[in-house]
Chains A and B, each alone.
Chain A
C-alpha cells in the first residue's frame, strides 16, 4: 500500500467482480482482465458439469428418494451414489468459493492499483506456497472416499428403515427421520416391553464400569511395573523388560482364546490345577459376576505391556536434577513420586492413555472371543458381559435391524468422540508448540 500509484482504477468495482464470478466461475477473473485464469476456471466448471452433471443429478435424486420403482431401483446403491455426489459437490463448492474469493481479491488489488502478477508469476507463486498442499491433496481425496464415505453411509442408514423384512434389492428403503432413535429411548413396544430400552441401560452401565475399571487397572499395573524396573537397584533390566513386553507380542485373539480355555469351569487349568489346591471352584463362565472379573483380569494382562513400555521410556528421560534438588529439600520418596514422576509421566502420555479408555469402550474382541458376551441372563436380551458394541453386533445378526444397529453405532461413536475430544482439548500435549 505504501506506493502511491497512478494506476489505481477507482472505477473498478470489486462487488461486480464477485457477482460475475458467482454467476459463472471465471467471469469475475475475466472482468479483472486475468484472462488465462478466467478461461481455466470456465473450462474447469463447464467440464465438471458436462462430465458429472448426469451422475450428480441421479445421485442427488437417489439420495432424496432412495428409489421409486420397487425391484428396479436399488436403494443401497442409490444411497452410495448420492453420498459420492455430495462429496463431489462439496469439492465443487470449495473450488467455487475459492474462485469468488480470488475474483474479489484481484478486483480490490486492481482498484488500488497494485501491480498484479502475471500469470507466470502467479503460477510460480502458487507452486512455492502450495507445494505441501500439492502433495497432501491426493491423500485427502482418497480419505474422503475411503473414510468419510463409509461413515456417511452408516449415519445415513440410521435414518432409514433397513431391516430384514425391508431390504433391497427387492424392497425400497425410505427416510424415516429420527424414528429409530425414538424407538430406542421412548417406545414401549407392541408386546408390552421394549427390548431396546430395557437392555440398553443395563448394557450401558456395564460398558462404563468395564471401561473405567479395566483400563485404570492396566494403566496402574503398567505404571507400577515401570517404576519397579526403573529402580537403580534392579539388575538385568533388559531381560525383565523383554519378558514384561511379551504379552503384547502375542496376538490378542490367541491370548483370549487360550484364556477362554483356561477359565473353563470344569476343564480349564485355572480351576482344575490352581484353585483346586485351595479347594475352590469358581464358575468363571457361568456366573456373570465372575465372568466380568475374569474379563477385567485378562484385559489387564493384555493392556499393561503397552503402558509399561510407554512409561519406561518417559521415566528414563526425566532429568536426575529434579530428584537431586528434591533430596536437598528433604522430600520423601512419595513426595518425589507425587510431584516429579507422576506429572512428567502423565503430561507426556495423557492422550495415549485416553485412547486406551476409548479403545476399551469398544473392545469387541475380548468380550466376544472370551464368552460371546455370555453367560446368558434370564429375562434379558443381552448376555451378562455384553458391552454396547458386542450387543449391537449380536442384535444385527439376530434381529437383522440394520438401521437400528446403525443408530446405536452412531450413538456409540458420538460418546467416544465426545469423550476423546473433550480430553484432547484439556490436555496440552496436542496443542501446537507455543500456544500453551
Chain B
C-alpha cells in the first residue's frame, strides 16, 4: 500500500510540474537590452518632476557628510527631495542586482569605473546622455566611463598614484627614471633597513606605468571599446618594463617581501627616500613626516611620461529607475565645477570635472596638485569584464620576475594564462 501512495504522490507531482504554466507578466517592464533607450524616450514625454530621488552613497563618513550638504542644496534649488542610503560602494552592485528588479533600488548609485563592464553585463546601469556637460570632464574620465561606445554615469572623482618623497633624504623629487635609480643606488642599505626607493612593484596596479611608458597595454582600445583578444603584456615594451622592474630587485633596491604595511611603516619612520603610492596615504604620511613630505608626478621613463592607472568613480543611473532623466540631471549637477570642488574640499577626493581639477582649490594644495597633474598622463584601468582575469596571472608574473626568472618567458606564460582564463570564463 505504501508503494501505491508514494507512486501516486510522484505522479501527482509530475503532473503538477508539467502543468504549471507561466504567470502573466508585462513584457515591457524594465528590459535590460540596449533598446531601453527608445522606451526611455517614450516616457520622457510626461517629463514630470519626481517628488524624490533615491541615491545610494558610499558609507564613508566624510563623503556622506559632504554629499548630504550638496543634496540639501539641490532640494532647495529644485524641490526634489533626496533619500540617501549609505552603503559600501563595493556592495552596491550585488544589492542592486536584488533590489533593482524588486523595485526597491535607487535612482543613482556610486561606482568605480572598472566595474562598468560587469554592471552592463548584468543589465543594471542605464547608458546616459551627458549632453553639453560631457566636455566639462577630464578626457581620461570620459574615456573611463565609456563602454562599448556608450557613456555610463557622470564622473565625480578621479584617482591615481604618484611619487611621495621625504625632503630630508631627497631634496628634490626625481624627474626621470635615471634620477630615481641614482637615489636608490645611493641611499639603499638593506642591512640598516634604509631604502632610496620603495613601491609595491609586484602589484600590477602600481607597476603598470613602467610597462605602459614603453608601449605595453592590457587590452587594445579602439574607439571606446576593448579588443580583449589583443593583449599587449608580452610585447617589446612590456619586456623592457619587466626588465626595468627586475633590475630593482637584482640591484637590491626593493626587497621581494615588501608589502603595503611594511612600506608604509618604513616610509613613516623616515627610512625611505621615495615611495610610489596613492593619495589615500597622504594623511598618514604627512602626520608622520610633517613638512618634510613632498609629492610629485611619476618620473619619466626613457623620456615618456609614466602612464599610471587612473580610477574614476561616477554616479550611475539604475536601469530600474523610473526617473532616469531627473536622475541624470542630478548626477550632472553633482559633478559640475562648483559642486565637485565642494566635494573635493570636504571629502578630499580629486574632482573629475576638468575646471575643478585645474581650479584654485586643487592647485593650491601642494600635496594634491601633483596627483591632479599625473591624471592627464594616466590611462584609465580597462573596464572590460575580462580585466578580472588579468590581475592574478600578471601579478604572479611580477612575482616570478622579482625572483629573477626570464622576463619574456614569464610574460608569455602570463598572457597565455590570461587567454586561457578568459576562455574559461566565457564558456
- A residues with a Cβ closer than 8 A to B are 18, 22, 54, 56-61, 63-65, 68-74, 77, 89, 93, 96-97, 100, 104, 163-165, 167-171, 183, 189-191, 193, 195-196, 261, 264-267, 285-286, 375-376, 378-379, 381, 394, 397-401
Whether A22 contacts B423 in the complex (CB less than 8 A), given A61-B21, A64-B17, A379-B413, comes out as no
Q: Name 4 extra pairs, CB < 8 A, besides A72-B27, A170-B33.
A: A18-B1, A64-B17, A71-B31, A72-B26
- B413/A169 in contact, CB under 8 A: no
* CB < 8 Å neighbour of B101 from A77, A378, A379: A77
- B residues with a Cβ closer than 8 A to A are 1, 5, 8-9, 13, 16-18, 20-23, 25-27, 29-33, 97, 100-101, 118, 121-124, 255-257, 259, 261-262, 385, 388-389, 391-392, 395-396, 399-400, 403, 405, 410, 413, 416-417, 419-421, 423-427
Whether A264 contacts B262 in the complex (CB less than 8 A), given A22-B8, A164-B385, A191-B420, comes out as yes
- A167/B122 in contact, CB under 8 A: yes
**What's the A-B contact tally at a CB cutoff of 8 Å?**
149
**Once bound together, how far apart are the Cα atoms of A378 and B427, in whole Å?**
24
* CB < 8 Å neighbour of A96 from B9, B259, B400, B420: B9
* CB < 8 Å neighbour of A394 from B100, B392, B413: B392
- A97/B399 in contact, CB under 8 A: no
Beta-carbon nearest neighbor of B391 in chain A: A398
Whether A401 contacts B9 in the complex (CB less than 8 A), given A61-B20, A72-B30, A376-B396, comes out as no
* CB < 8 Å neighbour of A266 from B8, B17, B101, B257: B257
Which residues in A have their C-beta under 8 angstroms from that of B124? 169-170
- 8 A-B pairs within 8 Å (CB atoms) are namely A60-B17, A61-B22, A163-B425, A163-B426, A191-B416, A286-B257, A376-B395, A401-B424
CB distance from A17 to the nearest CB of B (A): 12
- B122/A169 in contact, CB under 8 A: yes
- B27/A69 in contact, CB under 8 A: yes
Which residues in B have their C-beta under 8 angstroms from that of A77? 101
- B425/A170 in contact, CB under 8 A: no
Which residues in B have their C-beta under 8 angstroms from that of A267? 257, 262
Which residues in B have their C-beta under 8 angstroms from that of A22? 5, 8
CB distance from A395 to the nearest CB of B (A): 9
**Once bound together, how far apart are the Cα atoms of A255 and B400, in whole Å?**
29
- B421/A399 in contact, CB under 8 A: yes
Which residues in B have their C-beta under 8 angstroms from that of A193? 420
CB distance from B12 to the nearest CB of A (A): 8
- B97/A60 in contact, CB under 8 A: no
Which residues in B have their C-beta under 8 angstroms from that of A266? 255-257
Beta-carbon nearest neighbor of B8 in chain A: A22
**Once bound together, how far apart are the Cα atoms of A168 and B257, in whole Å?**
41
- B30/A71 in contact, CB under 8 A: yes
* CB < 8 Å neighbour of B33 from A64, A71, A190: A71
- A57/B20 in contact, CB under 8 A: yes
* CB < 8 Å neighbour of A398 from B1, B405, B421: B421
Which residues in A have their C-beta under 8 angstroms from that of B27? 69, 72
Which residues in B have their C-beta under 8 angstroms from that of A397? 388
Beta-carbon nearest neighbor of B21 in chain A: A61
CB distance from A103 to the nearest CB of B (A): 11
Which residues in B have their C-beta under 8 angstroms from that of A61? 20-23
Which residues in A have their C-beta under 8 angstroms from that of B405? 378
* CB < 8 Å neighbour of B400 from A74, A376, A381: A376
**Once bound together, how far apart are the Cα atoms of A401 and B388, in whole Å?**
12
Whether A399 contacts B13 in the complex (CB less than 8 A), given A165-B121, A266-B255, comes out as no
- A195/B424 in contact, CB under 8 A: yes
**Once bound together, how far apart are the Cα atoms of A133 and B11, in whole Å?**
30
Whether A100 contacts B396 in the complex (CB less than 8 A), given A71-B30, A163-B425, comes out as no
- B30/A164 in contact, CB under 8 A: no
CB distance from B385 to the nearest CB of A (A): 6
Which residues in B have their C-beta under 8 angstroms from that of A183? 427
Which residues in B have their C-beta under 8 angstroms from that of A104? 1
- B392/A71 in contact, CB under 8 A: no
- B257/A399 in contact, CB under 8 A: no
**Once bound together, how far apart are the Cα atoms of A43 and B281, in whole Å?**
69
**Once bound together, how far apart are the Cα atoms of A167 and B101, in whole Å?**
13
- B424/A57 in contact, CB under 8 A: no
Which residues in B have their C-beta under 8 angstroms from that of A168? 97, 122
- B425/A399 in contact, CB under 8 A: yes
Beta-carbon nearest neighbor of A72 in chain B: B25
CB distance from B207 to the nearest CB of A (A): 16
Whether A399 contacts B256 in the complex (CB less than 8 A), given A61-B20, A69-B25, comes out as no
**Once bound together, how far apart are the Cα atoms of A167 and B29, in whole Å?**
18
Beta-carbon nearest neighbor of B190 in chain A: A266
Most B-side CB within 10 Å, residue of A168, A195, A267? A267
Beta-carbon nearest neighbor of B320 in chain A: A169
- B262/A170 in contact, CB under 8 A: no
**Once bound together, how far apart are the Cα atoms of A183 and B423, in whole Å?**
13
Which residues in B have their C-beta under 8 angstroms from that of A57? 20-21, 23
- B25/A73 in contact, CB under 8 A: yes
CB distance from B8 to the nearest CB of A (A): 6
- A195/B421 in contact, CB under 8 A: yes
Which residues in A have their C-beta under 8 angstroms from that of B395? 376
Which residues in B have their C-beta under 8 angstroms from that of A169? 30, 32, 97, 100-101, 122-124
CB distance from A98 to the nearest CB of B (A): 11
Whether A381 contacts B417 in the complex (CB less than 8 A), given A97-B9, A394-B392, comes out as yes
CB distance from A20 to the nearest CB of B (A): 13
10 A-B pairs closest in CB distance = A170-B123, A376-B396, A170-B32, A61-B20, A60-B20, A71-B32, A71-B31, A266-B257, A399-B425, A58-B23
* CB < 8 Å neighbour of A97 from B5, B17, B25, B403: B5
Which residues in B have their C-beta under 8 angstroms from that of A71? 30-33, 123
**Once bound together, how far apart are the Cα atoms of A182 and B413, in whole Å?**
27
- B31/A72 in contact, CB under 8 A: yes
- B424/A399 in contact, CB under 8 A: yes
**Once bound together, how far apart are the Cα atoms of A54 and B23, in whole Å?**
9
Whether A164 contacts B419 in the complex (CB less than 8 A), given A264-B262, A398-B392, comes out as no
